Structure 1
Amino acid sequence: MTASVEARDRITAPVLDMDPYSVENITSPYAFQTALRDIGPVAFIPKHGVYAVGRHAECTEVFKDHERFSAKAGIGIQDIRKPGDFRVPNRMLENDPPSSTAIRGVVTKYLSPIVIRRWKEHFEKLATPFAEEIVARGSIDGVEDLAEAWILKVFPQAVGIDMPREQILAIGEMRFNQSGPPNELYRKAMERAKPHIEWFEHSVTREAAKPGSIAESLFEAEERGEFPEPGLASNMVRSLIGGGSDSTIAALGHTLHYLARDPAQWDLLREDANGRAKLAFEEAIRMEPAFMVTYRTTTGPVELSGVSLDGDTKIGIFMGAGNRDPRKFEDPDRYDLMRNSTGVHVGFGQGAHTCIGQMIARIEAEAILKALSKLVSRIELDGEARYRPINQMRMLDILPLRFTSA
């Protein structure tokens, strides 16, 4: 076969002329998600020069195949190997096996089932008085008063780093806008974060880690030579601070939003909170993953589901689209806490880079949901919910809630 025939026979990705980073598509991504799934297994988005996948099968394949789709160029839209786009990489996530696997093995040791069980018991003790105070108010903002307040109460204790609300939210918005294109959201977030950069850089040092915490354990592991290279303890703490609080706040907010919109689901949770709190949280992550998109880079000219892709090109994995794929999930746009999609949805990633902190997120959310279920007979919206536009993250900004005491 001649080269000219080969070129004619080459199936290229269809063009999707939509911008997933417009404020409209960030705050309401469903039309984009549907268009991405419908156009084919892979699309090309010319505005940003990237490929995109939104079907569950292709999302999973790109996540799992690091031979064809590498994380080394960064999990944001920028190529962090290039001088103009360089930033400090996450040495575990923005890396490939076997290097990333070695690092992950050390971190996992200090997030063992024993550690998680200890923190689970502690969180459950804190949850009841916290929930009692919240419910007594009657009407609250489910984001600031509940999701943010709860996660910023318990997560810093586990990690072992002080996380003042103003600083941690500003740094989070900077990091998750920085993963998108240099648009107005990006520029404003960078400006807001400037006064807090010095705090953030200090927070990931050995001196800032509290005794008995996960952060201290990681620094001690580094001192014993357990990590394959120096400086990784600080890098891992940076990752925990930057990714562990905002994502769980977002996911808990989405859970409360869906439960408030459907009284029957709240009743199901109350019937068996011990067994269903996890399912309620997991289903919200399927419906509204905190991270809307993450990226890989093709390692060369590759093929995906019969479509030929150019080498050294970013490919976005749109998890929200994959999690609502009717090819994988029946009635995918319906929130159903009895749908057990744990390990199936792609909200926590898949493969070698699946979210390492997901067990902490689950026990934080389960603790407060179980406490609320004992105190609240009905949870309702008390106004219109509003989303916070962030390039990479799906997060509520305001969630007016009203509680009826049990």
Structure 2
Amino acid sequence: MAPSRPAAEAPSLDIDPYSMPVLLNPYPFQEALRDRAPVVRLTAHGVYATGRHAEALEILGDPGRFSSSGGVGIQDIRKPGNHRIPNRLNEVDPPAHTALRGVLSRLMSPIKIRGWREGFDAVAGQLIDELRDADGVDGVRDIAETYVLRAFSGAVGIDLPRDNTMAISNMRFNQVGPDNETLRESVRRAGPHLEWFQGLTQRDAVQPGSIGELLYDCEDRGEITPGTAANMLLTFVGGGTDSTITSLSHTLHLLARNPDQWARLRADSGLARVAVEEAIRLESPFQMIYRTTLGETELSGTRLPRDAKIGVFLGAANRDPRKFDAPDRYDLSRETAGIHVGFGHGIHMCLGQMLARHEADVILTALSRAFERMELAGTPVYRPVNQMRQLSSLPLRLH
């Protein structure tokens, strides 16, 4: 038997994924990351990274080698100077993660989510009436943000004013990146809303029958540790709003750019979920997520030292030609649910994905029934965010 080949050192890639040009146009970086090697070392930040689908699945699916306890961002939150309160669901490993996820999965069961659908339908119907009278529409502000903030606030049981919510969410998704000007600007914008944010999840602020009240009830019974309810509700502010708003905005953009796919959706409203899944694959709202090695390990023939941060670049993996045919094409005949990594993978796969799918299904179905055509009415504008690929403006014309 031939001796096994020793693991190689990761080659370097001298592109900063957090630079403004890359944040606004990530595709050349994504291609360079995939083509350079299965695993590279990003010299700008001294961390490792992969942009390939197979390696993404291996990292996200093996918490015994690749831990979440160092934080899902580029900084190792266990180290002095980087410490912050971890997310009690996404930045912990088993068994603590297993117990909490079990409780949350019960609270957000398919039956409970289907029970909220009547409220989603009512919000969508009201919004469609408003859009019929509009001369011009911003797909981000007038459709995605308006619909999601109205629908989600009722389910989670928290009042979510637009300016407060978007400023805080933007800051939090920038905080998982490096200390750059993008982060500092978002902190400045969020400053006036921090007091509101601190009081947002107090027990007396949540609505009866909501996720918030159910979480506090679990805390009272000792099913989750004190402080977990507030921690989870703060997570829902971003995870349940920004991510869904972003995926819906991308879906509207892609449908407007591809009238043949809009026609397919109008002919078969059952394709609404396919439309959003394909948009999440092609324009992944979360562009990267990090893990930390628990010991020295090997990945695709590359040596990784202990306590190394490795970024899984989800946006690049979801356009990996090794996995997807014609990966840059938006195609409603492509079935990608459970295959793309836009919702993550493994034990930390997005807990709210079913809720997000229901919300998107309702509004896309309503739009496709109400409007024969949807087209771009101007140039879309992107918002630079360290962790996300996010539209800030999407001029549309609805017919």
TM class by shorter-chain length?
A: over 0.9
Give 1:132 deviation, angstroms: 2.4
- Out of 360, 364, 376, the residue aligned to residue 371 of structure 2 is 376
Give the aligned partner of residue 256 of structure 2: 260
Aligned residues: 397
- Out of 315, 327, 332, the residue aligned to residue 332 of structure 1 is 327
Moved over 6 A (4+): none
- Out of 116, 121, 139, the residue aligned to residue 119 of structure 1 is 116
Q: Aligned with 1:332: secondary structure?
A: coil
Counterparts of 1:328 and 1:210, CA distance in 2: 44
Alignment of 1:127-276 (within 5 A): 127-227=124-224, 229-273=225-269, 275-276=270-271
Q: Confirm whether residue 315 of structure 1 aligns to residue 328 of structure 2.
A: no
Question: What residue identity is the alignment partner of 2:96?
Answer: S
Question: What residue identity is the alignment partner of 1:258?
Answer: L
Q: Confirm whether residue 50 of structure 1 aligns to residue 47 of structure 2.
A: yes
- Out of 10, 14, 19, the residue aligned to residue 13 of structure 1 is 10
Any conservation in 2 of the 1:244–1:361 contact (CA below 8 Å)? yes
Q: Confirm whether residue 88 of structure 1 aligns to residue 85 of structure 2.
A: yes
Any conservation in 1 of the 2:123–2:150 contact (CA below 8 Å)? no
Any conservation in 2 of the 1:151–1:249 contact (CA below 8 Å)? yes
Question: What residue identity is the alignment partner of 1:170?
Answer: A
Q: Confirm whether residue 401 of structure 1 aligns to residue 396 of structure 2.
A: yes
Any conservation in 2 of the 1:295–1:314 contact (CA below 8 Å)? yes
Unaligned runs of 5+ in 1: 1-5
Any conservation in 2 of the 1:326–1:332 contact (CA below 8 Å)? yes
Q: Aligned with 1:292: secondary structure?
A: coil
Give the aligned partner of residue 101 of structure 1: 98
Counterparts of 2:397 and 2:7, CA distance in 1: 57
Q: Confirm whether residue 39 of structure 1 aligns to residue 30 of structure 2.
A: no
What percent identity do the matched residue pairs reach?
A: 55
1:225-255 deviation digits (Å, cap 9, x = unpaired)? 111x221111111111122100111000000
Give the aligned partner of residue 392 of structure 1: 387
Give 1:9 deviation, angstroms: 4.5
After TM superposition, the score normalised by the length of structure 2 is: 0.97
Give the aligned partner of residue 344 of structure 2: 349
1:244-300 deviation digits (Å, cap 9, x = unpaired)? 100111000000000000100000101111x10000011000001111111001111
Q: Aligned with 2:335: secondary structure?
A: coil
- Out of 361, 364, 367, the residue aligned to residue 366 of structure 1 is 361
Counterparts of 1:107 and 1:310, CA distance in 2: 34
Give 1:138 deviation, angstroms: 3.7
What RMSD over aligned residues (CA atoms) do the two structures have, in Å?
1.4
Q: Aligned with 1:402: secondary structure?
A: strand
Unaligned runs of 5+ in 2: none
Counterparts of 2:397 and 2:260, CA distance in 1: 16
Counterparts of 1:259 and 1:149, CA distance in 2: 19
Give 1:11 deviation, angstroms: 0.3
Counterparts of 1:28 and 1:242, CA distance in 2: 23
Counterparts of 1:50 and 1:35, CA distance in 2: 16
Question: What residue identity is the alignment partner of 2:195?
Answer: E
Q: Aligned with 1:94: secondary structure?
A: coil
1:3-42 deviation digits (Å, cap 9, x = unpaired)? xxx9x94401110110100111111100001011101110
Which stretch of structure 1 is more off in the superposition, 121-130 or 25-34? 121-130
Counterparts of 1:118 and 1:338, CA distance in 2: 29
Counterparts of 1:137 and 1:215, CA distance in 2: 35
Counterparts of 1:299 and 1:46, CA distance in 2: 22
Give 1:166 deviation, angstroms: 0.9
Counterparts of 1:154 and 1:117, CA distance in 2: 13
Counterparts of 2:41 and 2:240, CA distance in 1: 31
